[in-house]
A and B are shown apart, each in its own frame.
Chain A
Amino acid sequence: MLGFSGDIKGMLRIHCPDRVAMAITGSLLGMEVDQIDDDVNDAIGEIANMVAGGLKVNLAKHNKSIELSIPTAIGGKFYTVHSLARAERVTIPFAMAAGQMLVELEFVSAK
């Protein structure tokens, strides 16, 4: 996940099961990945960074400027992510060979 702020503030999150995260990392780094390690955390963080970067470029075309924070990777067997504020939320599932990935955007207009 990665926070952003500016004309719009919010959080961008990429959610996926371990095996999808490993498949994405394998493709990104061009190597076999069979465990959740620093590489996987960095790769999924980097995907969040790139998606948010794309969002930043697209928003700029609509005269909205945002700045990005740094990515944080969260992993584990059992956890929940909770967001506060009365943010608007869009979640889009993407299917790939290894399984499903969700891209979640949560935002409020700053002004």
Chain B
Amino acid sequence: MGKKVLIIDDSSTMRKIVTRSLRQAGLDFDIILEAGDGVEALQLLQTEAVDIILSDINMPNMDGMEFLRQKAANAALKRIPVVMITTEAGADILSEAKSLGAAGSIKKPFTPDQVSEIIGPLL
């Protein structure tokens, strides 16, 4: 159906791992876009329409929280769901992400099943 996902993580390894997990979760995205931080992601989103965004929290230049803030302030991007992927599973951090509009979160380590459970309903 031509679904597009954007993966934001400063580690290209982590982006590969997430890509592999999406495939194993049976989530067949036609296009998988990648960005290394929030700044790159916002740039990419000026020209690319995506169905869902998966984002790391700790990143250089612009972290996941600031990305959520800027995305929420942009009318064109507001309704795209964002799922945070993080090891920093502190309740304080996750509730802050939620208050900034995150649709959900995936805690590392994760299985493809968990990925599909959280992302599937958002598509």
Chain A interfacial positions (CB closer than 8 Å to B): 84-86, 108-111
Contacts and interface: CB of A to CB of B under 8 A. Distances in A.
A110 B11 contact: no
A109 B13 CA distance: 19
Nearest to A111: B63
Contacts, number: 13
B10 interface: yes
* Interface of B (DSSP majority class): loop
Interface of B: 10-11, 13, 36, 58, 60, 63
A85 B11 contact: yes
13 contacts: A84-B11, A84-B13, A85-B10, A85-B11, A86-B10, A86-B36, A86-B60, A108-B10, A108-B60, A109-B60, A110-B58, A111-B58, A111-B63
A109 B63 CA distance: 10
Nearest to B37: A86
Given A86-B10, A109-B60, A110-B58, 10 more contacts: A84-B11, A84-B13, A85-B10, A85-B11, A86-B36, A86-B60, A108-B10, A108-B60, A111-B58, A111-B63
Among B10, B11, B58, B60: residue with most chain A CB under 10 A: B60
Contacts of B63: 111
Nearest to B63: A111
Contacts of A86: 10, 36, 60
Contacts of A109: 60
Kindly list the 7 A-B residue pairs having the minimum CB-CB distance in the complex, ordered from nearest: A108-B60, A86-B10, A85-B11, A85-B10, A109-B60, A86-B36, A84-B11
Nearest to B57: A111
Contacts of A110: 58
Contacts of B36: 86
B28 to A, nearest CB: 28
Contacts of B60: 86, 108-109
A18 B112 CA distance: 47
A84 to B, nearest CB: 6
Nearest to A107: B60
Contacts of B58: 110-111
Contacts of B10: 85-86, 108
